[in-house]
Amino acid sequence: MFGQLDRSRIFVTGSPQAVLESLLEAIGTKNYRLFDKEEFLIDDAHELISHAYIASETPKYLIVKALGINNVSQNSLLKLLEEPPTNVVILFIAPSKAIFLPTIRSRIAVTVLPGQKEEIPVDFDFERMNLGSVFHFIKENRFLGKPEAKAFIQKAFEFYQRFPLSPQDRLESELEEFDRSFRLLELNSPTINVLSTILLMLLEKQRALPTRR
């Protein structure tokens, strides 16, 4: 279920408590410290970091089960996740990988457990988008995974379809760009490039509309 527990990772599950119990059973009587929180806050992060830097000759597991982890707490863990001390394994149990910053997800493996279907959120206000919001979204989501990127492109296409355009105003090149985006994601093209192209095309099209509502 968990694979080798020899490196830090995020476990995504719809049943955090059940997964925690199974994980503790897999670890057994080994050295571990549990942080079971509704929201993992900066004080919790400081405590975890302190435990991480206590030397251990055997594997030590620092387990975080939380529904939310605020950004300040996550940022404080970046250096630890980048260069963990010897024998330290940090394990997160969470309902969605979307609660983690891209900078966290780039440093730690994510495992969506079998049978757990993760909802893929698309946190972007297409109706009120401008150059600033597009830039911010791209900056914050440059490490967006392939499934999330595909879900976002689908939402972008749905927004495009709501434009008050006649059939002749829906350019074939624009429609092809959406198909091309999906193909590029399948070919593992950089997500930031694919999303930038789509969002800038939408922004240009939206600005050309006679009215904006």
119 occurs within a structural domain? no
Evaluate whether 42 touches 72 at the Cβ level (below 8 Å).
Answer: yes
Boundary (domain end) residue, out of 83, 112, 141: 112
64-123 residue pLDDT tens: 999 888 889 999 999 999 999 999 999 999 988 878 888 898 888 888 887 544 555 667
Strands 9-12 and 88-94 come out as parallel
Residues 6+ apart with CB under 8 A from 116: 12, 13, 14, 15
4 occurs within a structural domain? no
Query: Both 95 and 30 in a single domain?
Result: yes
Query: Both 57 and 135 in a single domain?
Result: no
Evaluate whether 14 touches 113 at the Cβ level (below 8 Å).
Answer: no
Query: Both 102 and 132 in a single domain?
Result: no
Evaluate whether 64 touches 74 at the Cβ level (below 8 Å).
Answer: no
Residues 6+ apart with CB under 8 A from 179: none
Evaluate whether 33 touches 59 at the Cβ level (below 8 Å).
Answer: no
Query: Both 139 and 201 in a single domain?
Result: yes
Evaluate whether 43 touches 69 at the Cβ level (below 8 Å).
Answer: no
Percent pLDDT > 90 in the chain is 37
147-199 residue pLDDT tens: 778 889 888 988 888 888 776 666 777 878 888 888 888 787 888 889 999 99
Using a cut of 0.85, tell me whether the model's pTM lies above it.
Answer: no
Which domain does 188 fall in, by range? 126-207
Residue 130 has pLDDT above 90, yes or no: yes
Per the document, the length of the chain is: 213
Residue 212: the pLDDT is 46
Query: Both 17 and 101 in a single domain?
Result: yes
